[in-house]
Each structure stands twice: as C-alpha cells, then as structure tokens.
C-alpha cells in the first residue's frame, strides 16, 4: 500500500473543510480525483503534503506504512512525496537554478524533462508571467526531477492549450513508467483520454469522498449525469 487516510478531518482558518472516513492507494496506482469547484480536492492534496495552514484535526495519514501526520513538508518530500500546484506563486529565482539544484539533490537527469519544451522558460524567474500551460509544464518538470514514489498532481489539465495538454500528458505517462503512484485532481477529466493507464477514480463533494470505483465507470457517470449523479 502506498497511501492510506484514516478518519481524516482537515480545517483551514478554523473552518472544517475535509472529513475523509477512509481512502487508500495501492503502490503504483493511478487514481483520479473528480469533484465540483470548492469540493476540497486541492485541500486534500495540500494536507497530504503537510503544507502550513492545513490543520489535521483528527485522523492519520499513512505513507508506505509510516504515520506522516505530524511530519513537515520537507520530511514528506524526502520520503518521496511530490506536489504540483494548481496556481503556483511567482518566484524571484530563475527556473534554471532550481532545476540544477533538483538534478543535484535527486540525482536526476536533465533529459528526463526535455520533452516538456522548457527552453524558452529556463532562464526566466519561475512562474513569473508564465502562461497557464507554461506553469503547469514547469510544475510537472519539477515533479519528474524528484522521481517521486507518490505524485500529487493538482489539476495539471486546467487552463492549458492543446499543445501543452499533449506535453503534460506525456510527462504524466513518464511518471507512470517510473512506477510512481499518482493521485491527480481534475475538474473535467479530459486529460484522462491521453494517459496510458488509469486504475480508479473517486468523486469528492462537500469535503467528503462520496464514490470510488474503476475509472471508466466513474467517468461515464460524470459524462452522462454530471456530479448530480453522485448526490442522490
């Protein structure tokens, strides 16, 4: 087993956002998390990563058999968890410098991110005036360089054009080939059509996971009925 959430409740600014009774990912599983805007999908990924401001009120987060509920984000990263942000903030550091540091730290190869077409971004400050597609590609590049055991991908398909969508899907397929476990948040699910394998999917509504099944079954319900198909 890669990830297990046990009776997890999460609050942000003293407001309870998530209540997850139980959820788990098997090692190497590719899992999509659907849900309407405001359902709590991004909050779940950030809580798993341990970001400041996401308070675990109760429950546990178990990663590869280890309770990481109280661990800092850098400790979780060192264990093999990586997060790509939906809307990353601009930094004052050049992208090239960050990439070189990550290559050194994780003993990665520069050619692992060559297909993301980053040549026009590499000398710029990271996420500074990047387009939506550029930011998403930069985020995926940094995840790839970490060679993660668990990749948390927050809407890598939102706000991108078709060319970027192809490059992002290829990067996700690289993660699959690495053997990474992937939990990917998506609002539309369109990127799923370009990914080589998806095992299961879940639907989150009002901070709770209300349905989990094989991907095809979940996706077909969403395409046919929308999220109201899970609110009965």
Query: Is 90 exceeded by the pLDDT of residue 18?
Result: yes
Delimit the domains of the chain by residue range.
3-230
Which tokens hold the place of 94?
A: 């050049």
Instruction: Tell me how far apart the alpha carbons of residues 96 and 113 are, in angstroms, rounded to a whole number.
Output: 12
- For the domain made up of 3-230, give the CATH fold: Rossmann fold (3.40.50)
Q: What string of DSSP letters covers 72-133?
A: -HHHHHHTTEEEE-SSPPP-SSBHHHHHHHHHHHHT--GGGGGGG--TTTTTSBTTTT--HH
* pLDDT tens for each residue of 94-137: 999 999 999 999 988 888 898 898 888 889 999 888 888 889 99
Instruction: Tell me how far apart the alpha carbons of residues 21 and 206 are, in angstroms, rounded to a whole number.
Output: 13
pLDDT of residue 15: 95
pTM for this predicted structure: 0.94
The torsion angles phi and psi of 158, rounded to 5 degrees, stand at: -90, 135
Query: Is 60 exceeded by the pLDDT of residue 232?
Result: no
Q: What is the mean pLDDT of the chain?
A: 93
pLDDT of residue 118: 87
Q: Residue 121 CA to chain centroid, in angstroms?
A: 22
Query: Is 80 exceeded by the pLDDT of residue 143?
Result: yes
* pLDDT tens for each residue of 59-97: 999 999 999 999 999 999 999 999 999 888 888 999 999
pLDDT of residue 133: 86
Which is it for the CA torsion 101, 42, 171, 87, positive or negative?
negative
């Amino acid at each position: 087993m890669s990830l297990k959430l046990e009776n997890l409740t999460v609050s942000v600014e003293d407001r309870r956002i998530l209540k997850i009774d139980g959820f788990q990912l098997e090692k190497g599983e590719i899992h999509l998390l659907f849900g309407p805007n405001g359902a709590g999908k991004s909050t779940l990924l950030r809580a798993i990563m341990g970001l400041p401001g996401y308070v675990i009120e109760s429950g546990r987060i178990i990663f590869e058999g280890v309770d990481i509920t109280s661990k800092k984000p850098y400790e979780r990263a060192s264990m093999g968890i990586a997060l790509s942000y939906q809307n990353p903030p601009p930094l004052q550091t050049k992208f090239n410098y960050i990439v070189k540091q990550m290559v050194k730290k994780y003993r990665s190869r520069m050619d692992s991110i060559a297909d993301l077409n980053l040549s026009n971004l590499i000398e710029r400050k990271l996420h500074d005036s990047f387009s939506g597609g550029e930011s998403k590609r930069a985020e995926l590049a940094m995840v790839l360089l970490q060679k993660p055991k668990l990749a948390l991908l927050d809407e890598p398909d939102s706000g991108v054009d078709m060319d970027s969508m192809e490059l992002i899907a290829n990067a996700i397929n690289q993660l699959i080939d690495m053997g990474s476990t992937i939990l990917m948040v998506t609002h539309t699910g369109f990127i799923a059509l370009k990914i080589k394998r998806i095992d299961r999917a879940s639907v989150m509504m009002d901070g709770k996971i209300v349905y989990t099944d094989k991907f095809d079954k979940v996706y077909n319900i969403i395409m046919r009925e929308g999220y109201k198909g899970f609110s009965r």
